Amino acid sequence: MLRYIVRRVALSVPTLLGITLVTFLISRALPADLVLANLGDHAAQDPQLVAAFRQRWGLNRPAPVQYLIYVEHLLRGDLGTSIATERPVRTELALSLPATVELASSGMLAAVVIGGLLGVAAAVRSDTPIDLAVRSIMATGVAIPTFWYAILLLFVFYFVLGWAPGPGQLDAGLAPGPPITGMYVVDSLLEGNWPVFRNALAHLVLPAVVLGTVGVGFIARITRATVLDVLQREYVRTARAKGLAEARVVWRHAVRSALIPIITVIGILYAQLMSGTVLTESIFSWPGLGRYAFSSAGNLDFPAIMGVALVIGVFYVALNLVVDVLYAYINPRIRYE
Amino acid sequence: MSSLDTVVGRTDSADVAEMVRAVHSRRLWRTIGVLAGVLVLAAWGLAAAAAPLVSPYGFDEQLVTESLQPPSPRHVFGTDDLGRDIFTRVLYGGRVTLLIGIGVVSVASAAGMAVGTVSGYVGGSVDEFIMRSSEVIMAFPSIILAMAIAVALGPGVLHAAFAMVLVWWPTYARLARGEVLNIRRMEYVDAEVAIGQRPWRILLRAIVPNIRASIIVLATVDLGSAIVTAAGLSFLGLGAVPPTPEWGAMVSAGRELPQAWWIAGFPGAAIFSTVLAFNFLGDAVRDYLDPRHRT
């Protein structure tokens, strides 16, 4: 197992380098005016700042050298300076990452639980109205535009019914304690700060449901297909033949083996949820990476958006690594190939 | 079917009848889905194409005295804060949104197919380079990378479409490459090589025609997500620039005015129905052209 992990980690290094190469190429080749794109209208007027910028990123050196300088900066955690706030992009990303992880993980949890249950129900009752209903939900979940759906839910549950709190992470009157993880729900739970915990949780529900819906269709589709497939296998027939209760056959024999394909799609799904956060967070005023990307795009804050792309790309590679290792752990055949 | 029957694998006529009914009902629902999909798409396509004929208003015509009106016979989808007719703007917006979606998928699938075919046929270091590049691009969530490229280029419909193409081609390239690797081993390709046919001719005459179906299937299934992404980019302010109407941008304009739900509601419903229709159609095309995936 250890050998597999080492090999798999080594394999992600070229991908990581590739990611930096892509962000490097985008940031060097695409903007019409590189200095203007990175410094903004204001600073680009100042010859001293321009000279310092050129010096810092080695812009008068050959392109391969520029790339090495770029990677060297990245390794030191230097992602450039935001045009809009004039603060290091790294600091701003570090501040917004916890909120996104909190939101994306809750969305993921909602997607796996709801999608999994729907998928099992559809498979066990295939070709009945239940199946049809679940398949309609799946088709809707895949097709509905996140940004519109978010506005719709906010309109109905906050504006019309008043059941859900408005946008943001907490009500205006509440203040979170000193950050531990930076995630409000987790921190307030650890501190035993119940008013903040309840409020933060209530604020989390709607955006998590919006994000999760994208995944519900995805997870339900895969669960349905795998469980349906497994239910036709010989060992399920054997399980039934020895007189096991149907519930036990479904949950212990069929659903268990369906878990493997579900785990493999979780990596892809998490990436989808991270993309979904851009639109969801901007609507729910959720102070995470997504809203940061959104406001950076609005300000044409180029270094900031490249920072987000890089961080999410690296996150995605790391996540796939974890999924692959987990997969090898569950399914030993992979390890020995 | 009772579980005992399943156990002994016995099927009597009642079971067979039930299975036939199930297959029929599934086909029936699928047919209904496809018909509904085609109808919705035809309706949006025609309405968008004939927008000036269908609507009495201009897409940028501001009726200042009639701003923020809810849906009424005079303005079926209501009006926005500038007094513009939402119905008219949804029709004109469809032109932009549908064109970006279809345009991006057409260009990306053609480019991806060309790149992937060459990659699979030539092999070696060219293949290695192309496949590694596509992997790296696919390591980014598509909307994030498209956003970064669109910010680098500046807002605008063409820039957004170009950004999407840069992100969209790898799936097609990888599919085409895989198919080429399979087809290369076929005997009829060996035969072409044996009679001394030129490589380009083999590629164009013997290989490309056989991978077209898979590419078309993927492209149809893909149209929905291309449209959602295009609308999403516009929603983020990176696509259509005002006053050009575009569905995603219209939803974005309406989010500040929750009391006027119709401003964001109708363009959003337009995106939703179009994507749903494309997805139904995509499934049907897949069943038709690629029976391996038939469910």
The C-alpha of A26 sits at a distance from chain B's nearest C-alpha, in angstroms, of: 7
Is residue A139 less than 8 Å (CB to CB) from chain B? yes
- The answer to whether the CB atoms of B271 and A282 lie below 8 A apart is no
Over residues A159-185, the mean pLDDT reads 82
**Residue B125 confidence (pLDDT):** 93
Residues of B in contact with A305 (CB under 8 A): 147-148, 151
**Residue B12 confidence (pLDDT):** 60
Is residue A308 less than 8 Å (CB to CB) from chain B? yes
The C-alpha of B289 sits at a distance from chain A's nearest C-alpha, in angstroms, of: 21
Phi, psi of B85 (to 5 degrees): -75, 120
Read off the pLDDT band of A207 (50, 70, 90).
Answer: very high
**B6 burial type by CB count under 10 A (0-12 exposed, 13-18 middle, 19+ buried):** middle
Which of B144, B238, B269 comes nearest A309 by C-beta? B144
- The answer to whether the CB atoms of A144 and B139 lie below 8 A apart is no
User: Per residue in A230-256, pLDDT tens?
Assistant: 888 888 888 888 888 888 888 888 888
Name the one residue in this structure whose structure tokens are 């995944």.
Answer: A215
* A68: pLDDT strictly greater than 50: yes
Residues of B in contact with A291 (CB under 8 A): none
**Residue B227 confidence (pLDDT):** 93
Evaluate whether B118 touches B212 at the Cβ level (below 8 Å): no
Is residue A309 less than 8 Å (CB to CB) from chain B? yes
Evaluate whether A223 touches A120 at the Cβ level (below 8 Å): yes
- The answer to whether the CB atoms of A22 and B232 lie below 8 A apart is no
Over residues A70-80, the mean pLDDT reads 89
- The answer to whether the CB atoms of B268 and A309 lie below 8 A apart is no
Angle, CA of B56, B252 and B239, to the nearest 5°: 85
Q: Which residues are registered as beta bridge partners of B79?
A: B85
The percentage of chain A sitting over the pLDDT mark of 90, rounded to a whole number, equals 9
**Residue A61 confidence (pLDDT):** 83
Mean residue pLDDT of chain A comes to: 84
Q: Give the 3-state DSSP-derived string for chain A, with helices as H, strands as E and coil as C.
A: CHHHHHHHHHHHHHHHHHHHHHHHHHHHHCCCCHHHHHHHHHHCCCHHHHHHHHHHCCCCCCHHHHHHHHHHHHHCCCCCECCCCCCEHHHHHHHHHHHHHHHHHHHHHHHHHHHHHHHHHHHHCCCCHHHHHHHHHHHHHHHCCHHHHHHHHHHHHHHHCCCCCCCCCCCCCCCCCCCCCCCHHHHHHHHCCHHHHHHHHHHHHHHHHHHHHHHHHHHHHHHHHHHHHHCCCHHHHHHHHCCCCHHHHHHHHHHHHHHHHHHHHHHHHHHHHHHHHHHHHHHCCCCCHHHHHHHHHHCCCHHHHHHHHHHHHHHHHHHHHHHHHHHHHHCHHHHCC
- The answer to whether the CB atoms of A30 and B147 lie below 8 A apart is no
**Residue A93 confidence (pLDDT):** 92
- The answer to whether the CB atoms of A147 and B142 lie below 8 A apart is no
**Residue B123 confidence (pLDDT):** 87
User: Per residue in A293-330, pLDDT tens?
Assistant: 888 887 778 888 888 888 888 888 888 888 888 877 87
Instruction: Please tell me the distance from the alpha carbon of residue B266 to that of residue B148, in angstroms, as a whole number.
Output: 29
Which of A155, A301, A313 comes nearest B140 by C-beta? A313
Q: Which residue of A has its CA nearest to B22?
A: A127
User: Per residue in A251-280, pLDDT tens?
Assistant: 888 888 777 777 777 777 877 787 788 889
Q: Which residue of B has its CA nearest to A142?
A: B276
Residues of B in contact with A297 (CB under 8 A): 147, 150-151, 236-238
Which of B145, B150, B279 comes nearest A142 by C-beta? B279
The C-alpha of A94 sits at a distance from chain B's nearest C-alpha, in angstroms, of: 18
Which of B132, B251, B275 comes nearest A147 by C-beta? B251
Question: With a CB-CB cutoff of 8 Å, which residues 40-69 of chain A face chain B?
Answer: none
* A133: pLDDT strictly greater than 80: yes
- The answer to whether the CB atoms of A148 and B268 lie below 8 A apart is yes
Note down pLDDT in tens along chain B; length 295 residues: 344 444 444 456 666 777 777 677 767 777 888 888 899 999 999 988 888 888 888 888 888 888 888 898 888 898 888 889 999 999 999 999 999 999 999 999 999 999 999 999 988 999 999 988 898 888 887 888 888 888 888 888 999 999 999 999 999 999 999 999 888 888 888 898 899 889 888 888 888 888 888 898 889 888 998 999 999 999 888 888 878 899 999 998 888 887 888 999 999 999 999 999 998 888 888 777 766 655 4
